[in-house]
Every structure is written in structure tokens, then in C-alpha cells.
Amino acid sequence: MAKPKLKIMLVNPPNCGRSIPEEEYGITSLKQLFKGEPFSLQVLAGPLREHDVLIFDMKCESEEAFWAAFNQFRPDVVGLTAVTCEANTVIRLAENVKEKSDATVVIGGNHATYNPEYFNRPPFDYIVIGLGKKSFAQLIGKLAEGKKSNGIAGIAKTTPGKPLTYLMRNYDETDLMPEIPPRYDLIAKYRDQYFLEQLGLRMGFVLSAYGCTHKCSFCAIPNMAGGKYLNYEADAVVRDIVLLGDTSFIRLVDANTFGNARHSQKLCDKIIRAGIVKKYFADVRADTIVKHPELIKNWKDAGLYAVIVGFEDVSDERLTSYNKKYQGQVISQAIEILHKLGIVIIGDFIASPRDEEDDFKKLENFILKHQIEVPVISVLTPLPGTQLYKTMKKDIIIDDLDYYTFTNAVTATKMPAKVFYQTYAGLMKRLHGKPHRPQ
């Protein structure tokens, strides 16, 4: 007998975090950098073809439009995704969903993985930890059979008031289900809105690898795949790039692209052989660039346009404290290689609440001296569940997760807070004054 078809509504929450520099110090360039399709939801929808799936992007549509769509669609299952600064917003949303319906509510994503207990509350039924494509499909299969308890590894049934218990999932490449592409078609109506004004371009998302084996203290990535690095099959990557049609800029959304040099070279060869002409953005570690300059050159030939590199800091001492596993010398070498190849550098740096004016000055000098085309400076944020959180917990002065947007000092600043933000805002304004435009 065929399983009943479920109505599944996957929801991307609104752009909801709080940002003191934007609210009080006139910075407008931050939000513009952060725009893009709700890729996790498109990936999750892939294996659910036999069901009726709707993706609703609240970053593109109003809350009123959301409820109109909700009332019309009448979902059996609502799936919510959230990074840390979105956690409180999805709780409110889930409460409203439960008031208005008896839909099963499932939460997944970064915050659910790093701090699952946070969602162990009445409006949620299930919490999906880490990579969810296969485990969510398994859960939906059970729900379609009318079963409630699951015992699926990587999924917790909520038990409000009691500690969560669940089976750890031993993630591997099969969790990526490479044979099934993301449902790009489900967000087609939003595609024109995924436009990066600051860079003046339209971008599509593709995965080529998942997770990370490194353990930088501030980072909320390694647990997503249980500390593993999983490659998405090269043929599947090529297929997904082609599915994006005429979108000419592709962001590889991997946390650590080129983490497996052999696999990356194979992918590069396939892209060139397929005659695909696109421009790519990828997150790459500085030491990968230094270890594999040939690979980066080959990727440049395949269309690598820009790399996002987590330089983090200009001080070796700080790099060590973040467990970055390389020092400033590697950063300088990586920059030199990238400049020689003509690859645009999107450099991620972290301003610490302990920074003083001189530290900001050193950072600015470094960025200008090394001609980092798109500098992105975030404020050190101890995300619950990370190693950094354990060491900084006692210093936290703002525990409202709405402020965990990487733009606020949630621990005490060394300079008076006003001076810290003014210095940070001043630097951002100067650096983003003449935005980089792709040629």
C-alpha cells in the first residue's frame, strides 16, 4: 500500500538578528553581504518528491504572507531552520504554528546541532542534529506511516522538562545523498531577490563538500558532520551547477572547500571538461592555498573568481588561541599566491571585544597593505556549544541570542562600549566605502 502523501512546509526565518553597529552607528553594508537562497531547505526537499513540499522564505516575504500561505497550504509538518541569532524567532514562530494547527514541528540547522537542549520545548516535536538530508527523509517516512517515536540516529524527540536523549549519528557520504539534487525549482519565484547589491551580482548555491576536521575554537561547523569532512560526488556537483541554469556566479557553500585536494582536482577537471563557464566563490583555508597553489591555479582556469579566507587575526598569539593551526606567515603567503593568480580575496577577520584603538589600526593597516578586496570584520562571538563558549561563558554580558549575529560584543569590551563600536563602525565605513565590483 502506498504511504500517504504529507504536506511539508519548510520555512526560512526572517532576517531577525539584532546588530548594535547597524542600529546605533549607521552601518548599512553588513546585511547586504548576507543574502542568499535557503539552500539547506532545498537540499532537505530533494528526497521528499513523493510528498507535497512548499519552501517559504521569510527573508523575502512578510509574516502576513507567511500566515496566508500557511492557512492555504495547511501543512502536516513544518520544518524550521535557524542559526543562533534566529533561535528565539523560530521559537515564537513554532509557538504560533502550534496555536493555529496540530502540525508536527521539526527544527534543524546550526543552533539545533550545537545547542539542541535550547529547543527542547513544547512547540517542537523533533530536533534534527547535524546533516539532515537523509535523517529528515527517514523521519518523514515514519510520520507518513503514522508512527510517532522514531529512534532515528541524529534526531531527538523533544521531552520538555526532561533532558533530551537521542542516538548519535555516525555521518558518512551516504548522508549527503548525492544522487538527489537540491530542489532549486521550489525557490524559483524568489531567485531574483537573491541579489547581492554590494557586489552587484546574482548568486546560486552549490555544495561540493560538507563539515570540517579542524577545530577552530569559535566555529560552529565541525559538529555538523560529527567532526568529519565529507565529499559530495564530483558528478553531482557538476549536475547541480548545470541545474542553476544561467546563474553565472556560484557560491560553493562548503565550510572548507578544497579540503581534499584530490577530490577537488577531479571536480575541477570535470567542470572544465563539461565546458561550463561560470564564476565561483569558495571558502578556503589559508594553509590549503599555500599547500596546493597548483590546485588553486587550476581552479582559477575553471572559473574560481573569489575565495573567502578566514584570516581571523593579524597576531600569531590570537591565531594560536583560536586553534587556527597556522600563523601570520602562512596568511601572507596565501595572499601573495591569490594576488598573483588574480583571485579576489574576501577576507574574514575577527575583532575581539578586548581590542583597543591600536588593534583596529593594525588590522586596517594590514587590510590596506595587503589589498584585501572585500574585508569582512565580525566581532568575536562565543556561540553556545563551541569551545570558545566554554572559555568565555563567565564573561558573557549579553545572553539574548538575538545579538549573536557576529556584529555585537556579547562580552565586556576593554574600551568603553561606545568607543569600541564607534571605532568598529568607523573602520567598516572606511573599508566598505568603495565596494568591490566584479569585472
Interacting residues with ligand B12 (CB under 6 A): 12, 15-17, 34-36, 38-40, 43-44, 59, 79-81, 83-86, 106, 108-111, 114, 128, 131-133, 136, 205, 207, 219-221, 224, 253-255, 378, 383, 404-406
Nearer residue to ligand SF4 within complex by CB, 47 or 226: 226
Tell me, what DSSP letter sits at residue 396? B
**Measured from the CB of residue 322, what is the shortest distance to ligand B12 in angstroms?**
13
Of residues 229 and 366, the one with the C-beta less far from ligand SF4: 229
Which does residue 214 touch among ligand B12, ligand SF4, none (CB within 5 to 8 A, set by kind)? ligand SF4
Residue 81, binding choice from ligand B12, ligand SF4, none, Cβ under 5 to 8 Å by partner class: ligand B12
- Identify the residue among 17, 46, 178, 310 touching ligand SF4 (CB under 6 A): 310
The partner in contact with residue 252, picked from ligand SF4, ligand B12, none with C-beta cut-offs of 5 to 8 angstroms by kind, is none
DSSP state letters, 303-352: TEEEEEEEEE-S-HHHHHHTT-S--HHHHHHHHHHHHHHT-EEEEEEEE-
Residue 413 CB, nearest approach to ligand B12 (Å): 18
Question: Does 380 interact with ligand SF4 (rule: CB under 6 A)?
Answer: no
The entry of ligand B12, ligand SF4, none that residue 285 binds, CB within 5 to 8 Å by partner kind: ligand SF4
Among 58, 176, 206, 221, binds ligand SF4 (CB under 6 A): 221
Residue with cell 575583532: 351
State the minimum distance, in angstroms, from the CB of residue 255 to ligand SF4: 4
**CB nearer to ligand SF4: pick between 159 and 213:** 213
Which one of ligand B12, ligand SF4, none is in contact with 132 (Cβ closer than 5 to 8 A by kind)?
ligand B12
What distance in Å separates the CA atoms of residue 1 and residue 5, rounded to the nearest whole number? 12
Partner that binds at residue 212, options ligand B12, ligand SF4, none, CB closer than 5 to 8 Å by kind = ligand SF4
Please tell me whether residue 108 adopts helix, strand or coil conformation: strand
Q: Does 318 bind ligand SF4 (CB under 6 A)?
A: no
Question: Is the Cβ of residue 194 or residue 420 nearer to ligand B12 in the bound state?
Answer: 194
Q: How far, in Å, CA of 357 to CA of 372, rounded? A: 20
C-beta closer to ligand B12: residue 293 or 435: 435
285 lies in the binding site for ligand SF4 (CB under 6 A): yes
Helices (H) and strands (E) in the chain, counts: 16, 15
| Nearest CA-CA partner of 199 in 29, 38, 39 | 29
In terms of phi and psi (left: phi > 0; alpha: psi -120 to 50; beta: otherwise), the region of 330 is alpha
CA distance 295 to 15: 36
Read off the C-alpha cell for 62.
512578510
Site for ligand SF4 in 190-219 (CB under 6 A): 212, 214-216, 219
At a CB cut-off of 8 Å and minimum separation 6, what does 392 contact?
A: 382, 411
Element (H, E) at 234: helix 234-243
Contact 17, 9 (CB under 8 A): no
> What ranges in 3-129 are assigned the alpha helix state H?
20-24, 29-33, 39-45, 63-73, 87-100, 110-114
Q: Measured from the CB atom, is 43 or 350 closer to ligand SF4?
A: 350
Q: Which residues bind ligand SF4 (CB under 6 A)?
A: 212, 214-216, 219, 221-222, 255-256, 285, 310
